Structure 1
Amino acid sequence: MAKVKAAEVIVYATPIYYYEMCGQMKTLLDRLNPLYSTDYSFRDIYMIATAAENDESTFEKAYNGLQGWVDCFEKASLKGMVGGGGIDAANTAADHVDAMKKAYELGKEL
């Protein structure tokens, strides 16, 4: 928790299951609740997500769920997301050049 509190930028990553972030990510967000009343450093929040479906709307609920968390931290803002659709098996993201390039470009900008 101390590393999250001290971070200037946070990039969350999650697979999309049933059009939502995975349970582990939701649990992480819930467990970070004690940061709400502290002098946290993070300002910019990003999401990287993968899903079996290619439709851009596949990522909306997960993004909105993260937005709800970010809304509780008035000094922070959700800056963007990289979504990799068509990724339906472990260790196949590297085969999706467009998504990998978007993630790389996001990383360069941080």
Structure 2
Amino acid sequence: MANNIVTLTSENFEREVLQSDIPVVVDFWAAWCGPCRMVAPVIEELAQEYAGRVKFAKLNVDDYGDIAYTFRIMSIPTIMLFKNGQVVDKIIGARPKSDFVNFINRNL
């Protein structure tokens, strides 16, 4: 995983996402999920392109199902954008990079 993508856990989710002073894109994923593996390189590219303006993070739903349940994650990958501790938008499923760019830009 890229150095500029935060690995989320129960211990750091609130600090890294809910208390962040910049928007946070959270990729809810699992290792066995083919579409999640397709999205991963796109997320890594975006994390570099938006460095300093948007924080990127990944949460493994198998390891932290309680958090996934809290945000009603029913399908993966689900990518949520948080601003000021609130979910403001989400994308479900593998999409082209342009969809993710539009998703981020319309929420900045």
- State the TM-score, normalizing by the size of structure 2: 0.34
Instruction: Report the structure, 1 or 2, having the larger helix content.
Output: 1
Tell me the TM-score normalized by structure 1: 0.33
Higher Rg of the two aligned structures: 1
Relative contact order (C-alpha < 8 Å, sep 6+): which is higher?
2
